[in-house]
Structure 1
Amino acid sequence: MARPLDHAKRADLLAAVVRYIADHGLAELSLRPLAAELGTSSRMLIHYFTTKEELLVQALATQRPEMETLFADIADAAALRARLWDFWQANTAGAGQTSVRVMLQVLGAACAPRSPYVEYADAAIGTFVAALTEGLRATAVEHPEVVATLLVSGLRGILQDRLVTGDVDRTDRAARRLIEQNVV
C-alpha cells in the first residue's frame, strides 16, 4: 500500500529545492545529493514528485507570482511604470533574487534540444507577456504585445546581467530607463 503524501512536507521540500538550485545550480543537479541536503532520500523525492523534472517544475511554480493579476488594476502609464519598478525591486533582492536565479537557469536549460523544461518556460514567459499586455492596453500604447515582449525580455536580460556582474547601480538605471521609455 502506497504511503499517503504529507502535503506540509511536500511544500517544505519544494521551498528547499528552490534554495538548493539557487545555491548549487541546475546543470549538474542530481537527486541523491539534493535528497541528502534536504535530509531525505531520492526514493522519497520520487514518491512525492514522480520525476526530477516534475520536482523542479513544481518547485518553480511555487515561486512564480500571480502574473495574471499583477497588472490587472492598472489605470494609466504612471501606475504601470510604478508597478513594473516595484516588480523589478522585488525580484532583485532577497527571496525574489533566489527565484530569479533559478528561473534564469531553467530558461537556459529550456533552450537545449528535447529539454523537459520547454513547456514550463514557454508558459512562464507567455503568462508574463499576456499579463503585461493587458496592463499596457490601459495606457493606449501601440502594439501592446510587442512592447510587453520587449519589456519582459529586456528586464530578464538586465536581471541576468545583474546576477552575473553584481552591478546594482548600472542595472537599476538600465531597468528604469527600459520601463520609462516603453511605458508612455
Structure 2
Amino acid sequence: MIDASPREKLLDAAITHIAHHGGAGKSLRALATDLGTSHRMLIYHFGSKEGLLTAVAREVEARQRAALADVADGREFWRRLTGEDLRANEKLFFQLYGQALGGTPGTTELLDGVIDDWLGPVEELLAAYGVPAADRPAEARLGLAVARGLLLDLVTTGDLDAVNAAMAQFMARYE
C-alpha cells in the first residue's frame, strides 16, 4: 500500500494473514507476532483482538462490495465469493456476526451496515438483469439472504458443488 497509514498497513497484513491462516482462535499476542508487530500496536489501532477482527471483516466486506461493481453478472461474483482465498475470511465473518448479535464488546460495529451497505450494490446488479425498480429492494434483500445462507453452508460443510447448484437454481430466476 503506497502512502498507507500504519493502521491501514496492519489491517491489510491482517486480512492477508487471516485469509491464509485464520485468526479467530489466536490470542492478540500471537496475531501480533504473526503480523510482525506488538500487541500494544494492535490495541492502539484496533482497541482489542475483537476490534482487529471486526475491522478485518468490515474491510473484506467493503472490498467485496467494490468487486461486485466490477463484474458484469452475478455468476462471476458468486465464483469470487466462493473462491478458496476468501473461505477463512467468510468463516471469520460468521463467527463475528454471531458474537456481534450477542453483544460481544468490540464486535457490535460489524452490525453497522451489514445488510444496508449491500442492498444498493445488489439492486444495481438486479437492474442489469432487468428486475423492475419496484421489485428491487425486496429482491436485493432476498438475494443477500440467499448468498449469505449459502456461504454459511459452504464454510460449514465445504460442499462447493451443492452450494453452487443451489445458487444456480436461485439465479435462474433472473435469466
Partner residue in 1 for 2:78: 88
Shift in Å at residue 144 of structure 1?
1.7
Does 2:144 align with 1:152?
yes
Does 2:35 align with 1:45?
no
| Mapped partners of 1:7, 1:120: distance in 2 | 23
Does 2:87 align with 1:97?
yes
| Mapped partners of 2:147, 2:124: distance in 1 | 18
Shift in Å at residue 29 of structure 1?
4.8
Select the residue among 157, 160, 172 that pairs with 2:164. 172
| Mapped partners of 1:56, 1:112: distance in 2 | 16
| Mapped partners of 1:70, 1:102: distance in 2 | 20
Q: Deviations over 1:103-157 (max 9, x none)?
A: 2222222221355433323413211123212433442165321111111111111
| Mapped partners of 1:114, 1:47: distance in 2 | 19
Give the AA of the match of 2:110. Answer: Y
The alignment covers a number of residue pairs equal to 169
Q: What are structure 1's unaligned runs of at least 5 residues?
A: 1-5, 74-79
| Mapped partners of 1:25, 1:141: distance in 2 | 41
Asked if the contact 1:18/1:98 (under 8 Å) is kept, the reply is: no
Q: Give the structure with higher Rg (CA).
A: 1
Identity of aligned residues (%): 30
Map residues 47-66 of structure 1 onto 2, 5 A cutoff: 47-63=44-60, 64-65=62-63
| Mapped partners of 1:69, 1:97: distance in 2 | 16
Q: 1:92 to 1:66 in 2, by over 3 A?
A: closer
Partner residue in 2 for 1:3: none
Higher mean alpha-carbon deviation, 113-122 vs 153-162, is at 113-122
- RCO higher in 1 or 2 (8 Å CA, sep ≥ 6)? 1
Q: Deviations over 1:60-93 (max 9, x none)?
A: 333222637835x9xxxxxx9x621111100111
Asked if the contact 2:54/2:106 (under 8 Å) is kept, the reply is: no
* TM-score relative to the length of structure 1: 0.73
Could you say what the CA RMSD is over the residues aligned between the two structures, in angstroms? 3.0
| Mapped partners of 2:40, 2:117: distance in 1 | 33
Give the AA of the match of 2:147. Answer: L
| Mapped partners of 1:86, 1:69: distance in 2 | 10
* TM-score relative to the length of structure 2: 0.76
